[in-house]
Chain A
């Protein structure tokens, strides 16, 4: 009998601790599948952000270093400069990447550091209990925007994938979602493409994944998928915002 589905080699044989309906487990799998497909497990080093993302070291069967909150791209820069032939990826949430780590992500992208960034956007600070994030939608209630995010008070949600795509150093910038099988397949392709960019020395690659946080959204896993479709995707459009071709490698 042919085996058609199994745990990727790059993931450890341990159960995920994530909340029901959370997409971190799915994203871990997509990243692990890409690492497996390109046979990168033995030369990949992960950089864990702070928040729910920090636990990548519990699940990936690869070398991992933990970065201070927001600083994963700087840590990845140091690693990559010492080990240019290794594959380096960061795994960061929206608070980590788009708030406290905004400076590091922008400058790392702008330097065209040849690393891959896995950016999990679930519009809240998950681990700390659902506070407002830089990507929290207008009107969205969180524990620190109890009346809904108001732009007069809090400004607007930031569209990172589009913003990073404007930088010359960026080779690949895409936004994907995990709410339907079709979107999941596109997400899988984008994650692979991002790693491929790094393998081909094309420069900085980032994939923003719209992800559910049912616990802090106060929704069931199913309703969370609907929210991604009805509320997140209209504000955070899916697509590839930049894809450097082989010939225009800087």
Chain B
């Protein structure tokens, strides 16, 4: 029988990372993600892992860069302001094509903001807060189970594409406890790491860099990255869709918002309204093709986010031209309740 655990989201994520073979963690304390470094500092001692409390998030992300260059499965975690500090390093990871996992258990902002759940970092995560023409894969868990499962997946995607992967959770997902199935790591076969720096013994020296000064080099590198991002779009877009067959209205929401949306949909269904859910799991690549396809039949969408309107731009870019996209935003402070979304459903249905 499968083992079930009743644990916190942050701990589930950390357990997933250990199972996936992550043995290097670099991070700096910040609420509401501290359970991750606390758990790993304790558990890594049992699996010969290496935990460093760095002097800053700037140092964390660059330690991660070094460990990734050496071929290790490595991660960092932080929360919104700390992730802002890491953007330079994330750009370098993308430019140097290094696999790494970066967890943002996001909080509210801008500025020091607050420690409550928010989805205000959607732009930062999906558009890249760092400089240059790059993309990171972004995973948006919505349950403790997904905090665990997507954590394992993140390492595989990072290695598959030699690219940084961001897990965008929030304070609710990190701090709540719920039951999850303690799934094993699936151990997929992945490309050999034939680019790792470990000393040029019996082979030519290797170089990991993002500086391209020679004529035409930078342009070629940017096109190469573009091809990779297109491959991600083709292969990796993930989403959950439910009750869409007869739907007159689809709610589009990710992460914590999607949980609240599910409750609102139950209320709507019991009132006889045909409402379904479209939940992106990968925020980049955005499941634009699937959303576009369903919009040929369903013509009304309500995007629900814990911000004043970010993912809604991707929804508008994805759906058919004759589809109506409505938006309901609940800025951070407290999460939305199902009833307020239900009120909104009644307005736009």
| Closest A residue by C-beta to B198 | A83
How many A-B pairs with Cβ below 8 Å?
133
Q: In the complex, A44 Cα to B198 Cα: how many Å?
A: 8
Interface string of A29-57 (1 = CB under 8 A from B): 00000000000011111011000001001
Q: Is the CB of A64 within 8 A of B59?
A: no
- Chain B hits for A45, CB < 8 A: 70, 197-199
Given known contacts A78-B62, A78-B64, A81-B50, A65 and B199 CB-to-CB distance under 8 angstroms: no
Q: Is the CB of B197 within 8 A of A78?
A: no
User: Which residues between 187 and 230 of chain A lie within 8 Å of chain B, taking CB atoms?
Assistant: none
Q: In the complex, A33 Cα to B184 Cα: how many Å?
A: 50
Report the count of interface residues on A (CB-CB < 8 A): 35
Which of A63, A67, A68, A74 makes the CB contact (< 8 A) with B54?
A74
Q: Is the CB of A82 within 8 A of B210?
A: no
Given known contacts A45-B199, A61-B200, A104 and B205 CB-to-CB distance under 8 angstroms: no
Q: Is A62 interfacial (CB-CB < 8 Å)?
A: yes
User: Which residues between 64 and 80 of chain B lie within 8 Å of chain A, taking CB atoms?
Assistant: 64-72, 74
**Could you tell me the distance in whole angstroms from the C-beta of B199 to the nearest C-beta in chain A?**
4
Q: Is A149 interfacial (CB-CB < 8 Å)?
A: no
Q: In the complex, A86 Cα to B205 Cα: how many Å?
A: 14
Q: In the complex, A163 Cα to B68 Cα: how many Å?
A: 31
Q: Is A75 interfacial (CB-CB < 8 Å)?
A: yes
- Chain B hits for A48, CB < 8 A: 209
Q: Is the CB of B65 within 8 A of A75?
A: yes
Q: Is the CB of A76 within 8 A of B66?
A: yes
- Chain B hits for A186, CB < 8 A: none
Contact surface of A with B, Cβ cutoff 8 Å: 41-45, 47-48, 54, 57, 60-68, 71, 74-83, 86, 103-104, 106-107, 111
For this complex, 18 residue pairs linking A to B, each with C-beta atoms less than 8 Å apart, are A54-B211, A62-B200, A65-B65, A65-B96, A65-B207, A68-B89, A71-B59, A71-B62, A71-B65, A77-B66, A78-B67, A78-B68, A81-B52, A81-B66, A82-B67, A86-B198, A103-B56, A107-B59
